Copies of this chain bind each other. A is one copy, B any other.
Amino acid sequence: MTGLRERQKADRTGRILDAASRLFRAQGYDAVRIEDIAAAAEVSAGTCYNYFSTKGDLLLAIVSMEVEEVVEAGHTLVTTPPPDTAQALGSLIRLYYDHSLHYLSKEMWRKAMAFSIEAPGTPFSQRYTELDAMLSAQVCDLIAALQKRGLARPDLDAKVFGQIVFNTLNQMFIEFVKQDAMPLSDLHRLSDAQTASLAGLIR
């Protein structure tokens, strides 16, 4: 079933993604030209456009892989939440934040977020939006799980409140990547304060 054509296609996709990911991280998104990526992936510039519609979409493909990992890691945590509301929320949020700079620079996040707003219809922009929705749903699930364990007010709409929490942490993350000088520890501090407030409303 795996013809030569199919195998080469997958191989090229992988090489382009690898090359782009490595170069973006090493030199920055703007400093890397499509031609550089093509050269590193041993294809031509035109071929990159057979696989990814724009440079921005290629970036979003890379970012999406990262977010996929986070969604998976988050799933484990949501199914076995710590036995305290603030700590449960805090752990999930910390998981998201700490993963974020593992493979991606702030510049890459900025460009990715910008592109997903600017060009929402692009294939990987849609994928990225989906993944965002999955993260949001995960927070909702956590709150529902806490309710089930009697750690959160049962009269709360878990979906509405989960989205509120997600919007808040998302907004703080945007501020974080917008300021190159801001260290991760500051994001944690801000986040812990908000989480405490929000946990107060839940309990």
Q: Is the CB of B120 within 8 A of A179?
A: yes
Chief secondary structure at chain A's binding surface: helix
| Interface residues, chain A, with chain B CB atoms under 8 Å away | 110-111, 113-115, 117-118, 120, 129, 157, 160, 163-164, 167-168, 170-171, 174, 177-179, 194, 197-198, 201
Minimal beta-carbon separation of A136 from chain B (angstroms)? 10
Asked if A168 contacts B178 (CB within 8 A), the reply is: no
Contact partners of A160 in chain B: CB under 8 A: 194, 197
Question: Could you tell me the distance between the alpha carbons of A86 and B2 in the complex, rounded to whole angstroms?
Answer: 59
Bound-complex Cα distance A167 to B164 (A): 8
Q: How far is the CA of A170 from the CA of B164 in the complex (A)?
A: 11
Given A168-B167, A170-B171, are A117 and B120 also a contact pair (CB < 8 Å)? no
Q: Which of B171, B177, B201 contacts A167 (CB 8 A)?
A: B171
Which single residue of chain B is at the shortest CB-CB distance from A113? B117
**Measured CA separation A178–B115 after assembly (Å):** 11
Shortest Cβ distance from residue A184 to the other chain B in the assembled complex, whole angstroms? 18
Q: List 10 A-B contacts (CB under 8 A).
A: A110-B117, A110-B120, A114-B115, A117-B117, A117-B174, A117-B177, A120-B179, A163-B168, A167-B168, A170-B171
| A166 and chain B: residue at smallest CB distance | B171
Bound-complex Cα distance A38 to B179 (A): 33
Q: Which residues of B have CB within 8 Å of A120?
A: 110, 178-179
CA distance A168 to B201 in the complex (A): 16
With most chain B CB atoms within 10 A of its CB, the pick from A113, A129, A171 is: A171
- What is the minimal beta-carbon distance from A55 to any residue of chain B, in angstroms? 13
Residue of B nearest to A160 (CB): B197
